[in-house]
A and B are shown apart, each in its own frame.
Chain A
Amino acid sequence: MPELPADSVGLVTPQTAHFDDPLDLACGKTLPAYDLVYETYGTLNAERTNAVLICHALSGHHHAAGFHASDERKPGWWDTHIGPGKSIDTDRFFVVSLNNLGGCHGSTGPVSVNPQSSRQWGPDFPMMTVGDWVHSQARLADRLGIERFAAVIGGSLGGMQALQWSLSYPERIANAVVIAATPKLSAQNIAFNEVARQAIRSDPDFHDGWYNEHDKVPRRGLKLARMVGHITYLSEDAMGSKFGRDLRSEDLNFGYGVEFQVESYLRHQGDTFSSSFDANTYLLMTKALDYFDPAAVHGGVLAKAVNPAQCPFLVVSFTSDWRFPPSRSRELANALIRAGKSVSYVNIDSPHGHDAFLLPEPRYQAVFAAFMSRAARDLGLEERT
């Protein structure tokens, strides 16, 4: 059996929480009952004050750290930052990471059975918003006996959930970490999402979202959607240094097969994704991104929208991120400043574009760890020995 790294949370097992109390959604519909799949790392202290919630991004899920099996090829998606001695130190914190509603990794979503029709929800699964997710996460916290999170943390779409937590449940969150996020999508962001959606919806195998009933998968559409998305996750420099204009074979072959390495890479990313992710989930996650705009009901004034927040914020951006560039994080930080909230903002020098939030980077880790260790100190959390 291969050894697991010493700074890993080790082997982890997902759990399922079932909820029978209906969840009212922003779209006007109600989810009558639902499951949330989650993992936990570390130990909840007797006072239940050391819980941290991890919110995932567009294609994320509950498996944020550790391994499901000792021969699992890769650990959870945020293993770089969660574990003993890491930024989110599991010797101090009890980490909760869930798959959001509408997801395709175990929580109730389009591939679950609709109790009313006894067929899969498919495209009938109600549209979810960031606010709905936060509401369902609060119910999971209730179930786990967590009155107040020591921190709610997320990158990208996950950062939006952390922000929403501070507004929806200000008394239930002691700290918020908002990484590579934005207080709202730009027209260009929405445009990219729409290209992804059209790629999926125009696939002949999509069948208006009932593809599973036709035993089909809109694989080409999903693949294209992921390829477009993936371009926005990397920076021009990162792509350039990784692939340049490298060819797969020595000569040009004057055809439409894969010639450049970058083409091969994108196709591979698209293929992998399209065989593991649900198209309806992808569609509704992109809509949740598009709809997020807490300032909208405050006349577009973000400084007013953030007024309910009570907790200290850490806002982090990355220099080469052009999906949610530093200016978007600054917009959030400035609104928090204007509202007189406690906030620190850092712009990490990284060549890796939007994906930088998932990767190790010494300064990112130092800042993250400093914020979390201050949070632990303020909450009187002792290091477990």
Chain B
Amino acid sequence: MMRADLELIHRWIPNGAHILDLACGDGTLLEALARNKGVSGYGLEIDPVGITACIEKGVNVIEQNLDEGLVNFEDDTYDLVVMTQALQALRRPDRMLDEMLRVADECIITFPNFAYWRHRVHLGIRGYMPVSKSLPHAWYDTPNIHLSTFNDFEHLCREKGLTITDRAVGIRDHEGHWASRLWPNLFGEIAIFRISRRQD
């Protein structure tokens, strides 16, 4: 069973694509994509446990800190770049977005939506920094230094003149799909964007 956002991404990536998976974790997505869709490429990761798991699976993994950019990857050399649940931990998420769309003309990004209603309850009503399944850390030890919302990210894409070709939200099972479709910024726990630098 793959994580819900990975399941969706798996569906979005075309057969035979050559991709980069930034913060690829234990390589679950790349392994499934290679097996089911003939997808090739590399994962980037800094977590030692994740890296070893990738190698054990036969997933190509490069130990590389994303804050240093993607200088070792040439322009337009990949079909797509994926980054799940790492945007919020980067020093400059906006620059990473530029980097991703330099090496490929399409990317898929997922991140925890800070405006999710449970987070709002934490902060707005109870007056505490939100702690949830998607944001499990306390404020003092969190790696998540650039939290944003579904709306914030749409705004950044508009500013950069990028095209959002698809978007979705990851939700909890018992919350209605209709609500998160109508009000993704409120009911989406995980934001999932598919972005292109092509102007449609």
Contact = CB atoms under 8 A, between A and B. Distances in A.
A334 B70 CA distance: 11
Interface stretch (A90-98, A166-174, A252-260, A341-349): A341-349
A334 B64 CA distance: 11
B80 to A, nearest CB: 16
A347 B45 CA distance: 11
A363 interface: yes
B74 A338 contact: yes
B48 interface: yes
Nearest to A349: B48
B45 to A, nearest CB: 10
A370 B64 CA distance: 19
Contacts of A330: 72
A343 B64 CA distance: 13
Contact of A378 (B58, B60, B73): B58
Interface string A334-358: 1001101011111100000000000
Contacts, number: 52
B48 A333 contact: no
A333 B51 CA distance: 15
A105 to B, nearest CB: 33
Classify chain A: how many residues form its interface, as a range.
Answer: 20 to 34
A26 interface: no
A103 to B, nearest CB: 32
Classify chain B: how many residues form its interface, as a range.
Answer: 20 to 34
B94 to A, nearest CB: 25
Contacts of A312: 58, 60
A333 B74 CA distance: 14
Given A345-B63, A363-B48, A373 B56 contact: yes
B72 A344 contact: no
Given A330-B72, A363-B48, A337 B62 contact: yes
Contacts of A367: 51-52, 55
Contacts of A343: 42, 60, 62
B46 to A, nearest CB: 9
B66 interface: no
B43 to A, nearest CB: 9
A197 B170 CA distance: 64
Interface in B71-90: 72-74, 77
B11 to A, nearest CB: 25
A374 B55 contact: yes
Interface of A: 312, 314, 330, 333-334, 337-338, 340, 342-347, 363, 366-367, 370-371, 373-374, 378
16 contacts: A314-B55, A338-B77, A342-B60, A344-B51, A344-B54, A346-B63, A363-B52, A367-B51, A367-B55, A370-B52, A370-B53, A370-B55, A371-B55, A373-B56, A374-B56, A378-B58
